Structure 1
């Protein structure tokens, strides 16, 4: 009888311990946690394709497809088009999952990564052997997809072969000679020869003095001077200079110091050589 009483007491205490909670209210049973997104083996849909090897699943999970290399820039558009046509809004099964990566099986059980590599649309990454490497080798040998045309390699531009065009051939040769000098003055002669190969009809000859010389009188031509710059134009009877012909003019000049010979002449705006 005493043993039965003890058993009843123990049952009462055990029941109270199982149902007791704060404030004397029974504690609710624990709720089951929801499963993680895209668990291995689960079926889902691909709702977006971000690039040739990155997708977004129906639950919002974004992940890269395992074992696929990033496509090169010139192959990226074709890879994106292939992945979009194959996976977008399609039912797939997540066969395995690692942080940030998934392996996707198509409804017929085909592994998408294997299909993409076998079609030559993407290359493998982090794979040392097996069906993926074998598929990539065959696609390369058959020149499928991206293997049909490799991305062009950038090459440095060849060095420019262009050179500065040579100056035009001179049309004239000028000989400047001081015939005589005396204190504060001098007399000079200038001969212009036509080497252009064409008839010169009317001309203007220009030069610049370096030592402050001044032309005081000229014959066979008309002269004007502005500072050191001298401009000579033909007389009526010296206007024509036949090819390989020449014309001479002379002048008197004043000078107060050195009397150096001008080194540069132009005829009708074209440079002459000096002789």
Structure 2
């Protein structure tokens, strides 16, 4: 009899347990963690702006703002200006997305990336939908910021500079003054002064010119002359070989002439053209 009572008690407890499992309160679902509230994110300041999406935080960390594309060259200045006015020296809350990338929350709780895209200052990157893509679509339709005009895909090369006149000749290293000092029938005497304006010492020289009226050199001092037809070549004497910078030497000669006695107009010193004075 006692065994039967124990069996009835066990059966009653078993049925009660089954009833509770079938008709009782369900077990609670496991809890899933959610992103931390904005107010729980660490707060810092932005101390440098490198471009529209790259910043340096107060602790020296340099980071790229997540989900923003690199600014186009034609709008990079506007993007930098927007980021500077919005973030520089401002307190922000930082949420690290991946190493080297962060999202920045402005003091009013606005995500900077969303603000930049909404203003048309930046484009999104790596986004398939959501608020950022919606903001980019609205900015594009409203022609805001970079959407106001199409950025060229490449910058055309500037046309080559055009010149309306020939390049000026190089500065002459010498100035020659040729002066007829006296004349008499069939003969004349002349003096030639050579000035060194090259800025450097001349050590040894040859002066050349050409007569146009059949003149000939018969005797020369301070130098040695040789002549072939109209061409005259004059080489320094030993004591006149040096011409210091901004200094000069003078040589003289007697010559013959029959008729006109035009002054030579073209002189060279060691192959370089001289000006005449």
Query: If the TM-score is normalised by the length of the shorter chain, which range does it land in?
Result: 0.3 to 0.5
TM-score (norm 2): 0.43
TM-score (norm 1): 0.43
| Greater Rg by CA | 1
